[in-house]
Amino acid sequence: MKQKTIFSLLCLLLISSHINAQKGYTISPSNILKVHAPANKLSIFDIYQNNITDGTIILKWEKISINVPAGWDYSLCDLGTCYAQIPDSSTMSPVEKDAQGFLGFNVDPKALNGMLTARFYVYEQGKYSEGDTCTFIITAGTTGIADLYMENALSVYPVPAVNDLHITLNEVAPFELSVFNSNGVLVKQAAFSGSEGTIDVSSYLYGVYLVKVTQNNQTFTSRFIKL
């Protein structure tokens, strides 16, 4: 009887340890993002980490590898900071309940063909082994890899923004706009009747903001930096 009790306690400890080791976020849209960057334009591509816990989580990341075609302009943003020179590792701002962390590549390929690949390891503080490798594959021009091409449905500009932020969608149809700050707090909602709109961001605090647009039951997201 004593051996049975000890075995049961060990099983409970193992189950509890496994539950505690589970990461507190999900990845969207995918841990591998394959996209196309148009020429002579700054494009922003994000991989999100969605907090699925009832509290706040801390996310960290490490650089695995970056290969960028010569002549391209690029930078990296995470939740809280943007980096012109990408460090080997960093910690995001705390991700509150129902909010998102993210890694985002900002790319302007100029008029140069090529393919950028960048890989990062993202993990929750204290749960390193439960992390994810997030990979960006960004093409420009003619690369012969047609399945990597994806035109942007949503454009926001200028980036960074000072006074006005312009929103443009490929499809001409009414859309609803929501803007969230880096803590996931809603700071703006608006509705527009066509494929374009402008909002005043002059009073916004310096930082990174998420733009979420809903049009014809589809949701598109982008990001901008407020100076």
User: What confidence score (pLDDT) does residue 72 get?
Assistant: 94
Distances in Å between the alpha carbon of 29 and those of 34, 39, 106? 11, 24, 17
Q: What is the mean pLDDT of residues 106-133?
A: 92
Candidate CATH numbers 3.30.420.40, 2.30.110.20, 2.60.40.10, 2.10.25.10; the one for domain 25-148: 2.60.40.10
Q: Picking from 148-152, 186-190, 196-200, which range would have the lowest pLDDT averaged per residue?
A: 148-152
Please indicate whether the domains covering 25-148 and 154-226 agree at the CATH topology level: yes
Percentage of the chain lying above the pLDDT 70 cut: 86
- By DSSP bridging, strand 73-78 and strand 127-140 are unpaired
Q: What is the mean pLDDT of residues 199-210?
A: 90
Q: Over 90: is that where the pLDDT of 95 sits?
A: yes
- pTM (predicted TM-score): 0.62
At 156-173, the pLDDT tens digits run: 888 788 999 999 888 888
User: What confidence score (pLDDT) does residue 206 get?
Assistant: 87
User: What confidence score (pLDDT) does residue 132 get?
Assistant: 93
User: What confidence score (pLDDT) does residue 151 get?
Assistant: 43
Neighbours of 157 (CB within 10 A): 16
Q: Is 20 helix (H, G, I), strand (E, B) or coil?
A: helix
Two tokens at 197? 């709109």
Distances in Å between the alpha carbon of 214 and those of 157, 189, 191, 220? 18, 11, 10, 6
Q: What is the mean pLDDT of residues 80-96?
A: 92
User: What confidence score (pLDDT) does residue 142 get?
Assistant: 56
User: What confidence score (pLDDT) does residue 155 get?
Assistant: 82
At 27-67, the pLDDT tens digits run: 988 888 888 888 888 888 899 999 999 999 999 999 999 99
In terms of pLDDT, which residue wins out, 9 or 35? 35
Fold (topology level) of 154-226:
Immunoglobulin-like (2.60.40)
Q: Is 149 helix (H, G, I), strand (E, B) or coil?
A: coil
> Which candidate, 89, 99, 102, 90, places its Cα nearest to that of 134?
102
Q: Where are the domains of the chain?
A: 25-148, 154-226
